[in-house]
Structures are given as structure tokens and as C-alpha cells.
Chains A and B, each alone.
Chain A
């Protein structure tokens, strides 16, 4: 009887005022989606989301909901295998202002080369690949 009552209690529908809002579930619709730049080049995967919460910096939150500030992307494979969470320093930030839209993948409004996330790839390209004979131009 107690269990039935609890289930009925959980069945309240959302008020009509929220019916026009576009609602998403972070785990279902954001995490692990691919990030691509404005030209369709892969940038990474959404590993976490940074939330801008007023109470974090000591100011009063006053029931204010956190805002999404950035997508976080990085090497999270070790922590997924062995547990825990990666240190924030190992995740690269992509500001929410740089997101054009999220569909099947998160499309950015910036180019691959302008992002901090891709510095290692750029370094390998400029310092190693470019020095190999024939490595400074597209294959023909």
C-alpha cells in the first residue's frame, strides 16, 4: 500500500508553464556525443559539462539554477576503466558560446585549429609531420 502511494505521488505531470520549454537530459542527450568544428572536423567527445553556479564562488545562489558554462573534453579513459573522476586540469574547456547547436553531434561555430583542445595534434603536425619530406602538402 505504501509503495502504491509513493508511485502515485511520483506521477505528477509538469505544470503547463514548462510545456513549451525544450528540455534535455544531460546523460542521454549530451555526454559522449562527438564534438565537430564548423567544417565538420572531429574535435573530441563531450566528457563533462561545466556549470556556472553562483554559490561556488561564495555568493548566495538564492535558488538560482546553475547555467551551463562549457563543454569539457579530454582523456577520461583511465578513470572510466578504474573509477574516480579525472582532474579538471586534464579536461579542456570549450565555451558554451562557441557551440552552434547540438544534434547528433555538437557542432561548434569555430574552426578546429582555433581550439585549445587540438593543440597536441597541431604540435605533432607542425613539429614532426611537416619536417618529413612531402609532409607539408596534401597527398596527390
Chain B
């Protein structure tokens, strides 16, 4: 499986009703050296009910600036949520959410390990 096969896929709930599209894949990463990271495993999928792709990532970050752009883009991204991998099923190439799944906030908290640092 490659990542491109998951992106932009339609997501259905347990009743086979469409919920939205996969706009990104959240991964766990190893950050052993304290600088940078190495991607490790799929953690969950970011699902948007309105868009097939993300624009500037305002729904996932705590960034609120520039104010005007955030104000314009945020309403387009309402309803975006994170669903963990163990709460979904891949059935015949389709992504179905399990009954009773939890929709987590798609926000990605700031993390210095992700940002990296300049090497001396």
C-alpha cells in the first residue's frame, strides 16, 4: 500500500453513508536525537466533510495568523476530524468508520521535534 492510495479517498460511516474525504494521514514519528523525526507508523486519518484536500493546514495547527486568512479559511474547514486507525475498516478498498468510533480534534499541537533545529 502507498500513501497516495489513502489520500482523497471517500470515507463512509458504519451505515455506508458518505462522511467525507481523507485529506491527510497522521503518522507517529520517532524523534530520538531531539532534532527532526523519522516517520514510523500510521496513527489515523484526517477526514474533511467539505474538502478533498487541505489548504494551508489551518484546521490542523494552532496557527491563527495572519488573522484575515485564518478567518477566511477556518469556516471552510469546519467538521474536519481525526479518526484513529483502529477505529476504521478497509472493506474492498473503501474506508468505513466502525460503529461507535470517536471523532478527535484534528488540531496538531506545536512540537519542537517536528519543527527541527539547525545543525551546528
Give A residues with C-beta under 8 Å from B: 6-7, 9-14, 18, 21-31, 48-51, 53, 55-56, 61, 63, 65-68, 72, 85, 88, 96, 99-104, 107
Answer whether residue B27 sits at the interface, using C-beta atoms and an 8 A cutoff.
yes
User: How big is the B interface, by class?
Assistant: 35 or more
> Secondary structure at chain A's binding surface: helix, strand, loop or mixed?
mixed
Looking across the interface, which residue of chain B has its beta carbon closest to that of A28?
Answer: B57
Can you name 5 extra interface pairs (CB under 8 A) apart from A50-B3, A63-B85, A65-B85?
A: A10-B105, A23-B43, A24-B114, A55-B90, A101-B38
Give B residues with C-beta under 8 Å from A: 1-4, 7, 23-31, 33, 35-43, 46, 54, 57, 60, 78-82, 85-86, 90, 102-106, 108, 111, 113-117
Q: Please indicate the chain B residues that have their CB under 8 angstroms from the CB of A14 in the complex.
A: 82, 104-105
Quick check: B38 and A25 within 8 Å, CB to CB?
no
Q: Please indicate the chain A residues that have their CB under 8 angstroms from the CB of B80 in the complex.
A: 10
Q: Please indicate the chain B residues that have their CB under 8 angstroms from the CB of A11 in the complex.
A: 105
Q: How far is the CA of A6 from the CA of B81 in the complex (A)?
A: 11
Quick check: B86 and A63 within 8 Å, CB to CB?
yes
Quick check: B60 and A24 within 8 Å, CB to CB?
no
Quick check: A27 and B25 within 8 Å, CB to CB?
yes
Least Cβ–Cβ distance between A115 and chain B, in angstroms: 17
Q: How far is the CA of A18 from the CA of B43 in the complex (A)?
A: 10
Quick check: A10 and B41 within 8 Å, CB to CB?
no
Quick check: B1 and A68 within 8 Å, CB to CB?
no
